[in-house]
Amino acid sequence: MNEPLHFSSKLRDYPVDVRDDGWAAELAAQKGVVAVVDENVWRLHRDGVLAGIDDPILLPIDEEHKTFATVAWLCDRLLERRFQRAGTVLSIGGGITQDVSGYAASTLYRGVRWLFAPTTLLAQADSCVGGKTSLNFGAYKNILGTMYPPHGIVIDPRFLATLSRDDFFSGLGEVVKLHVLGGPEHARHLENVMGSLTSRKGGAVADSVDASLRIKKPYIEEDEFDRGRRNMLNFGHCFGHALEAATDFAVSHGQGVVLGMLLAGVVAGRRGLLGDALQKELEERLFLPVLVSRPQLDESRRERVIEAMRHDKKRSGEGLALVMCCDGFEMRQVNDLTEAEALAALDGLWRR
Ligand SMILES: NC(=O)c1ccc[n+]([C@@H]2O[C@H](COP(=O)([O-])OP(=O)(O)OC[C@H]3O[C@@H](n4cnc5c(N)ncnc54)[C@H](O)[C@@H]3O)[C@@H](O)[C@H]2O)c1
Ligand SMILES: [Zn+2]
């Protein structure tokens, strides 16, 4: 048995409990608890994992709804139910549910008790910890937000059985990213269980969720407010976010991260920072097994990728920002990536 998972934060400390029992009914019965549930998750799990929750607030789930307007609508629904300052919001869903209901919980009455049960692989293995909530605003993704960790997190592996193939592989992108950041031991362990993971064997998936959270822990605890080490979690995201935006979100977040890690490898290779052997190992044993599709990327889309990278909110300095995995699994962030280098990496990967 692994040690229980517990995170510390300047705002509050919080536990992550892995449970596959009657937690939902138990929490919903507590005084002042209002459940806010992803409408799809409710449809799939109301008679199973979520039995015992009555009349939750159902959240519409898509990026267009990750806005102030939905937060206002949710606050209205909560107040209609006479939700009080001493109440608890129990959120159940993926990253969108986390962002919308977490933002509401962090601002209503200047912050109320908030419990979160993540239901996607991405949210279980990655986004549920770290304490960020984000909303889209106008054309900008995730530009409004608060730092507000949940008071408690419950991970129930039973949710993952109903996840679509695309959402499952999107989550695997973040799992792979975290295992590379974890260093050679974690990365090679993941290589060895990759077959079980991509065929969704429960034990392998649950272990990888647990390991991902443990790897992420020091990054967010030592640098809660993104001043240094936490930036490394952006591995795969520099190109990844840009690919999501340039394809109008046809590329999912996690698949963008996989492509982003492949592209960072091409740049690191060309800069002489990543030798052929490790580059090939990462590509063949970690990145390509979790890549489900490669989007069409004609010239105008490549231009849009570069344009999006110019607007990266993590960018500082003249060049573009890029986090790379270098020899010895050493992670490095550079701020001097040129547009020509970025285009050459896109050409290199898409010509293969
Ligand atoms: N706040 C953070 O730290 C943070 C970090 C990473 C990502 N995010 C945000 O998270 C969002 C992506 O999150 P996500 O990938 O979890 O997706 P999501 O919340 O958009 O859910 C993806 C789809 O899966 C469905 N779904 C959820 N759980 C399911 C289940 N158990 N079975 C079947 N279907 C299920 C949803 O209804 C939705 O259709 C993005 O908006 C991203 O910006 C936030
Ligand atoms: Zn991510």
| Res. 104: pLDDT tops 60 | yes
pLDDT of residue 140: 82
Q: Which of 254, 222, 220, 291 is nearest to 120 (CA)?
A: 254
pLDDT given at position 225: 74
Higher pLDDT, 314 or 306: 306
The answer to whether the beta carbons of residues 239 and 264 sit under 8 Å apart is yes
As a whole number of angstroms, the distance between CA 199 and CA 190 comes to: 13
CB atoms < 10 A from the CB of 170, how many? 26
Q: How many angstroms is it from 249 CA to the middle of ligand 1?
A: 13
Residue 229 has pLDDT above 90, yes or no: no
Q: What is the pLDDT of residues 80-103, one digit of tens each?
A: 999 999 999 999 999 999 999 999
Reported as a single tens digit per residue, the pLDDT across 6-60 is 999 999 999 999 999 999 999 999 999 999 999 999 999 999 999 999 999 999 9
Q: How far is the CA of 178 from the centre of ligand 2 (A)?
A: 10
State the alpha helices, DSSP H only, in 199-247.
202-222, 237-246
Q: Determine the residue type at 30.
A: Q
d(CA 198, CA 165): 10
Query: What are the angstrom distances between the C-alpha of 316 and each of 303, 320, 345?
Result: 20, 8, 21
Strand partners of residue 18: 155
Report whether pLDDT(1) > 60.
Answer: no
CB contact set of 9 (below 8 Å; sequence gap of 6+): 131, 149, 220, 221, 224
Confidence (pTM): 0.96
Give the confidence band of 218 by pLDDT, cuts at 50, 70, 90. Answer: very high
Ligand 1 site residues (CB inside 6 A) read 38, 40-41, 44, 61, 63, 66, 93-99, 119-120, 122-123, 127, 130, 132-134, 142, 159, 162-163, 167, 170, 253
pLDDT score for 238: 94
8-state DSSP, 285: I
For 148-184, how does the pLDDT look when each residue is reduced to its tens digit (9 = 90+)? 999 999 999 999 999 999 999 999 999 999 999 999 9
Give the contacts of 115 (CB within 8 A, at least 6 positions apart).
Answer: 27, 33, 88, 89, 90, 91, 150, 151, 152, 153, 154
